[in-house]
Structure 1
Amino acid sequence: MEKRHNYAAAGFLLLGIGAAGRAFLGVPEGVTMAELSLTVLLVIGALLLTRQGLAALVCGLAATALELVLCGSWVQAGGALTAAAPFLRLADLWLLLGLVWGSLPAARRAVDDLKYTRSTRMMLVACGVLLAAHTVLRIASLAAPASVPLGKASSGSFVVFSVLLLWYTVLMVKAYNVQRTKH
């Protein structure tokens, strides 16, 4: 008997791996090529969720385009968008959160567990609050570049946001395991 491919399970696994990579490789100031390739992995994971991950796919594609700009000559080495780079980076992080937000409903449906649903909602709220704090602190540190405490607080909020991406990774791996054992 021929075994059917479980694309949703593969999608959840790729989302989890991509988020873990982004959590470990992410830097608050700029985008690296490694981060770009992990975002592409997230996009492929969202693509494998088909209609269930459409919002995640749209945010992932937008983040990929923005990261290409951030890695390109328009931003690097005094390009035309160099001054806008910190704001583009913040937009990139919000698009990453949008990708997370867009993939969670599919994972909740796949797992179909009330405890899992509460956990995903808590994780999303915590990520949103931390990213909002990081955004405010980053903009404030740009306005007052000599303020060391603002810079440290901005970096600290980014690190905690990255750690929460590991929570998302765990949620995606759980969804992967449930999907894998269903088929």
Structure 2
Amino acid sequence: MDKRNRPALAYLLIGVTAAGRALLAVPEAVALQEVSLTVLAVVGYILLAGKGKLPLLLGVGQLILELLLCGAGQGGSWLWLEPALRAADLWMFWGTALLMLRHTGQNYKVMPAVAAVPLAVYSVAHFMPTMVSVASVCFVAFSVVMLWYAAMMLRAYNTARVK
């Protein structure tokens, strides 16, 4: 790959991040891994910053939320906010996926709509202790759909690399 091909590198980093986050497939006890993967995505968003700032802002927001979640997992003062922080983080991830698919010019209508359904159910069920199993299934479903997003970003990487 040509090292000066910044869009291709950005799409590769973002695609690898999406695949890594999707393969975590559990919302709890993975905050540190999410932080590492989100740093890769933020680097990709920085490489594309000349073409749009919103993905970068959402990526930085995700990074901040994930750092807070690292502290919440230790029983800090953020513990009671953990479900809301987790839901906000995932919605920001979904938002960046929508923006990046629009940016790459790919068909971006189906995947975000399909991903929004399990994410919405997860966001509600995550707050209810009796609905833990529903929340877990919805999180896994969301993760599987995000593998679709990862594949689309890797396709965008290949297209940018070949140009």
Is the shorter-chain TM-score for this pair beyond 0.5, marking a shared fold? yes
Distance 1:126 1:53, change over 3 A: farther
Distance 1:170 1:53, change over 3 A: farther
Does 1:78 pair with 2:75?
A: yes
Shift of 1:48: 1.3
Q: Decide whether the 8 Å contact of 2:87 with 2:123 is kept in 1.
A: yes
- Which of 88, 94, 100 aligns to 2:91? It is 94
TM-score (norm 1): 0.82
Q: One-letter code of the match for 2:146?
A: L
Pairing 1:104-143 to 2, within 5 Å after superposition: 104-108=101-105, 116-117=106-107, 120-139=108-127, 141=128
Shift of 1:178: 0.7
Shift of 1:80: 1.4
Distance 1:15 1:4, change over 3 A: closer
In the TM superposition, what whole-angstrom CA distance separates every residue of 1:117-156 from its partner, at most 9, and x where no partner exists? Answer: 2xx21001111122111111212x2xxx2x2xx2111100
Q: Following the alignment from structure 1 to structure 2, what is the Cα–Cα distance between the partners of residues 34 and 136?
A: 24
Return the structure number with greater relative CO, CA threshold 8 A, min gap 6: 2
What percentage of residue pairs aligned between the two structures are identical? Answer: 41
Identify unmatched segments of 5+ residues in structure 1.
109-115
Pairing 1:148-163 to 2, within 5 Å after superposition: 150-163=131-144
Pairing 1:50-89 to 2, within 5 Å after superposition: 50-72=49-71, 75-89=72-86
Shift of 1:176: 0.7
Q: Decide whether the 8 Å contact of 1:52 with 1:103 is kept in 2.
A: no
Q: Decide whether the 8 Å contact of 1:16 with 1:173 is kept in 2.
A: yes
Q: Decide whether the 8 Å contact of 2:17 with 2:38 is kept in 1.
A: yes
TM-score (norm 2): 0.92
Give RMSD over aligned pairs.
Answer: 1.6
Distance 1:18 1:172, change over 3 A: same
Alignment: residue pair count: 162
Q: Decide whether the 8 Å contact of 2:24 with 2:30 is kept in 1.
A: no
Tell which structure's C-alpha radius of gyration is larger: 1
Q: One-letter code of the match for 1:176?
A: Y
Residue equivalent to 1:113: none
Q: One-letter code of the match for 2:124?
A: V
Residue equivalent to 1:171: 152
